[in-house]
């Protein structure tokens, strides 16, 4: 057996005398088996790391979602549409309301005729003048008046001075008044009565120095007034505006432009008919032109407010319930108007579409300019069985249901023939 060389822990070979001979055969097998297991001694190697602990698994935290107290609400489609429609309608009403307020302020429709004084200095600009106008009540919406002045390109038209202006003036009149030239420009008050036709109105305006009849007829026939109720009425006829020149008391400038004068009357007509009136027109089944035509006949035939509703019922009855085959109105007032257009006298045989003794239905258009009472009488007629009426000696109309009763009245002393002899031509039917 060879001997193993032995080394110390530093790798240095020990001297021979210190080396121990190793002979495996001398070892007891039992001692070898009973030798204690090797346990490494790390001493203080891991002291800096503290006591070692086995890692433990981190607990898994699961979040449990609590049920929401507010459930998602699903709006039915039909409800959504209804809400949307309600919003649109509400917005339309709101805009219409403000539209009326703006129009009322710009046109001076509801302001009184009181005179107010305005003092303008040489330092006043558009903002200063607008503030003064608002202070005295001539305007309500300063931004609207400023916009009007900008559109007219008259933002520096104000001349220093003391001006007296009526509260009922519209923006156009206010602007024209607030300059030096307006001081010498006179105004005139003209009252247009219910039942006057357009030619009578033209003569009245000419007589008062507002405008000549010739210019008024030309503007009435050919000037394009932007109103829906005139859209389907043909041009080139001097009575084109008949029925829409609203009777009222007006303040006009002397020698004004015809479109300004006629525009004032048309604006008033457009403003007088409210939403309820227009709804009744729609409900009636007749056009606005038909309603105004019937109202003009009522205005020409009626002697009092009570008679208006009864005459309106006669017109409806003859148009819808006439039992004699031909539904002719047989109204003297329409024949008078047709004769006037032709320059002829009254005759029930007159060749004119306004001759309601000869032609069925309504005449081609209004025969005069009715007031609001006659218009609303046509929109709300009495329900009667009257088909006839005639004037008695006291100037009142008598109403009859049958032709026999009507003819008996005509043959009596109580009947008054209101047609002057000089206007009678031809034979009556």
What structural domains does the chain harbor?
A: 106-185 (3.30.1490.480), 188-272 (no CATH), 281-423 (no CATH)
pLDDT band for 14, please (50, 70, 90 cuts): low
Please determine, for residue 1, whether its predicted confidence score (pLDDT) is greater than 50. no
Residue 186: per-residue pLDDT: 74
Mean pLDDT value across residues 99-106: 79
Say how far apart CA 300 and CA 302 lie, in whole Å.
6
Share of the chain above pLDDT 90, in %: 47
Question: Residues 329, 362: contact at Cβ < 8 Å?
Answer: yes
Residue 417: per-residue pLDDT: 76
Please determine, for residue 364, whether its predicted confidence score (pLDDT) is greater than 90. yes
pLDDT band for 326, please (50, 70, 90 cuts): low
Highest mean pLDDT among 6-20, 21-35, 123-137, 388-402: 388-402
Say how far apart CA 292 and CA 193 lie, in whole Å.
16
Mean pLDDT value across residues 291-307: 95
Highest mean pLDDT among 14-28, 35-49, 124-138, 239-253: 239-253
Cα angle at 325 between 320 and 328, to 5 degrees?
60
pLDDT band for 283, please (50, 70, 90 cuts): very high
- Encode pLDDT of 159-210 as tens digits: 776 677 888 888 888 888 777 555 545 789 999 999 999 999 999 999 999 9
Ranking 31-35, 125-129, 285-289, 369-373 by mean pLDDT, the lowest is 31-35
Share of the chain above pLDDT 70, in %: 72
Residue 427: per-residue pLDDT: 42
Residue 253: per-residue pLDDT: 81
- Encode pLDDT of 26-73 as tens digits: 555 555 555 556 566 555 555 555 555 666 666 666 666 655 555 555
pLDDT band for 298, please (50, 70, 90 cuts): very high
pLDDT band for 426, please (50, 70, 90 cuts): very low
In the block, which residue shows the tokens 């031909």?
326
Helix axes 213-222, 258-272, angle to 10 degrees: 60
pLDDT, averaged across the chain: 81
- What separation in angstroms does the CA of 301 have from each of 290, 305, 347, 384, 414? 17, 11, 17, 18, 18
Please determine, for residue 18, whether its predicted confidence score (pLDDT) is greater than 50. yes
Highest mean pLDDT among 58-67, 206-215, 388-397: 206-215
- What separation in angstroms does the CA of 361 have from each of 202, 334, 429? 29, 12, 17
pTM (two decimals): 0.61
Highest mean pLDDT among 36-50, 94-108, 333-347: 333-347
pLDDT band for 429, please (50, 70, 90 cuts): very low
């Amino acid at each position: 057996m060879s001997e193993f060389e032995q080394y110390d822990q530093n790798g240095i070979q020990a001297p021979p005398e210190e080396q121990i001979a190793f002979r495996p055969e001398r070892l007891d097998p039992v001692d070898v088996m009973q030798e204690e297991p090797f346990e490494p001694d790390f001493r203080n190697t891991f002291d800096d790391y503290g006591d070692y602990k086995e890692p433990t698994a981190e607990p898994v935290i699961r979040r449990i979602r609590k049920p929401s107290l507010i459930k998602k609400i699903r709006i039915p489609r039909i409800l959504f549409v209804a809400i949307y429609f309600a919003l649109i309608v509400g917005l339309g009403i709101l805009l219409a309301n403000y539209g009326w307020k703006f129009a009322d302020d710009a046109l001076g429709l509801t302001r009184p005729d009181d005179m107010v004084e305005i003092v303008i200095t040489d330092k006043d600009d558009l903002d200063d003048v607008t503030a003064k106008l608002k202070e005295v009540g001539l305007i309500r919406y300063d931004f609207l008046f400023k916009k009007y002045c900008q559109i007219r390109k008259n933002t520096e038209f104000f001349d220093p001075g003391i001006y007296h202006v009526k509260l009922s003036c519209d923006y156009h009149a206010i602007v024209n008044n607030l300059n030096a030239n307006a001081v010498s420009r006179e105004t005139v008050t003209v009252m247009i009565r219910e039942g006057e036709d357009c030619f009578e109105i033209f003569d009245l305006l000419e007589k008062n120095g507002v405008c000549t009849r010739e210019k008024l007829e030309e503007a009435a026939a050919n000037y394009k007034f932007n109103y829906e109720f005139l859209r389907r009425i043909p041009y080139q006829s001097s009575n084109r505006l008949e029925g829409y020149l609203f009777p009222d008391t007006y303040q006009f400038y002397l020698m004004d432009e015809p479109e300004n004068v006629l525009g004032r009357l048309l604006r008033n007509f457009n403003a007088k008919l409210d939403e309820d009136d227009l709804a009744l027109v729609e409900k009636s089944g007749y056009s606005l032109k038909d309603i105004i035509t019937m109202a003009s006949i009522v205005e020409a035939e009626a002697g009092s407010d009570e008679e208006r509703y009864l005459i309106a019922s006669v017109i409806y009855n003859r148009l819808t319930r006439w039992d004699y085959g031909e539904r002719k109105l047989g109204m003297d007032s329409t024949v008078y108007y047709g004769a006037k257009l032709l320059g002829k006298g009254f005759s029930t045989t007159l060749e004119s579409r306004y001759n309601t003794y000869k032609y069925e239905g309504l005449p081609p258009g209004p025969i005069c300019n009715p007031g609001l009472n006659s218009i609303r009488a046509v929109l709300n007629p009495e329900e009667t069985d009257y088909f006839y009426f005639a004037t008695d000696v006291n100037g009142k109309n008598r109403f009859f249901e049958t032709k026999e009763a009507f003819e008996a009245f005509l043959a009596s002393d109580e009947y008054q023939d209101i047609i002057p002899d000089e206007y009678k031509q031809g034979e009556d039917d």
